[in-house]
Amino acid sequence: MTAHELNTFPAAMWALQSILGLECMPQSLRLAPYIPSGSAHIPVTEYPEYTSLVRAGIVEESGDVHAAVSDWLTVVSRPDLEVQLVIRRPGLIEGTVRESVTVICRMECWLVGISRSPGDPDEVAREIGFTGDPDTLPPEWVDRIRVFPIGAISDPARQTEAITDVLVAELGQFESADIDGVNLRLDTFLHASGTAAGDQETFSAMLASQGVSGRVVSVLSEVMSLDRSALAVVSARQVWAGSTPEERALRRTVSVADCTLGRVSMSQSLAQDGTWWLSVWPGHSSTVRADLAELVGEVITAPARTH
């Protein structure tokens, strides 16, 4: 642990939740919930994860969680707004993918990020002295959790800017695709990608019939291939007590895809007649930032529903 962030692993997060009495974390992180009634039979101090937290300085010898970590996790567990970034990349083994998730949580004016990313089983095996096959270690011990404070910001515009900065940093830099921008009906794209899943020729023909240029079709075909592209999807939601996930979620998303032909930014918009459109544009850094800022700003300024 440093003064600027917490680095640990999923199983240790459960121990922290137990000590702090925090039952839930953002669902997309796939962390086990802490259920007090089902955990009291074994003191948390007897778990090996607890020992690792003490050794890392996250939990003090007195049994108290470091004050900064306690504050950060309180924000993460009780947000009124979440902005989620999921990045899918080709896996190390053919036919597999690797996924990392970052969730930026806001509670009133406080902003804290938390991420889960694949770890190295060989490295973990060496750290814990495991002599078996490292690939048999569970993700709860191998994956990496990072918690990092972003700041205390009251102004909505500055909140939007700070969150966008984090998203842009997580995406990194990549050369933009050499294409002309295009707008196509979202239902047309979804129909093509669903009907022609895995059939590049049919997928290309369906998009070409809608007037999409060959260059754009080539890029979108690469994006659909899990082994030839990386895809990041940004979504956002407000968190209102008593509301359903459908009511909380912002229907729009922004996707950023990297492939051998370059980076593209794909965003959605709703026309006055109720038609959803998908915009596909070269992924210049300014375009990506503008698309992300628009999405984040929309959810930040949206009025919370009252029940």
Residue 151 has pLDDT above 90, yes or no: yes
Domain annotation covers residue 173: no
Domain annotation covers residue 116: yes
Residues 139 and 15 in one domain: yes
Q: Given this model, what pLDDT does residue 306 score?
A: 53
Structural domain span for residue 286: 182-301
d(CA 87, CA 17): 26
Residues 24 and 133 in one domain: yes
Domain annotation covers residue 148: yes
Domain annotation covers residue 168: no
Residues 44 and 119 in one domain: yes
Last residue of a domain, which of 152, 172, 194?
152
Domain annotation covers residue 17: yes
Q: Given this model, what pLDDT does residue 207 score?
A: 86
In the block, tokens 């240790």 appear at 12
Q: How confident is residue 40, by pLDDT bands cut at 50, 70 and 90?
A: low
pLDDT tens for 100-130 read 999 999 999 999 999 999 999 999 888 878 8
Query: Encoding tokens for residue 105?
Result: 């949580």
The set of long-range contacts for 200-205, using a CB threshold of 8 Å and a minimum separation of 24, is 200/224, 200/225
d(CA 178, CA 84): 28
Residues 127 and 187 in one domain: no
Angle, vertex CA 220, rays to CA 83 and CA 91, nearest 5: 65
Residues 139 and 206 in one domain: no
Residues 191 and 137 in one domain: no
d(CA 293, CA 161): 7
Residues 62 and 11 in one domain: yes
Average pLDDT over every residue of 211-234? 89
Cβ neighbours for 101, distance < 8 A, ≥ 6 positions apart = 28, 29, 84, 85, 86, 87, 115, 116, 117
Q: How many domains is the chain built from?
A: 2
Domain annotation covers residue 159: no
Q: What is the dihedral of CA 70, 150, 89, 195, to 10 degrees?
A: 100
pLDDT tens for 230-264 read 999 999 988 866 666 555 556 689 999 999 999 99
Q: Which of 307, 17, 288, 290 is nearest to 147 (CA)?
A: 17
Q: Which of 257, 296, 6 is nearest to 158 (CA)?
A: 296
Q: Is 187 left (phi over 0), alpha (psi -120 to 50) or beta?
A: alpha
Q: Given this model, what pLDDT does residue 70 score?
A: 96
Query: Count of CB atoms within 10 A of residue 24's CB?
Result: 13
d(CA 247, CA 249): 6
Angle, vertex CA 277, rays to CA 168 and CA 275, nearest 5: 140
Residues 144 and 34 in one domain: yes
Residues 208 and 101 in one domain: no
Residues 17 and 145 in one domain: yes
Residues 24 and 97 in one domain: yes
d(CA 307, CA 304): 10
Q: Given this model, what pLDDT does residue 127 score?
A: 81
Domain annotation covers residue 237: yes
Residues 36 and 145 in one domain: yes
Domain annotation covers residue 217: yes
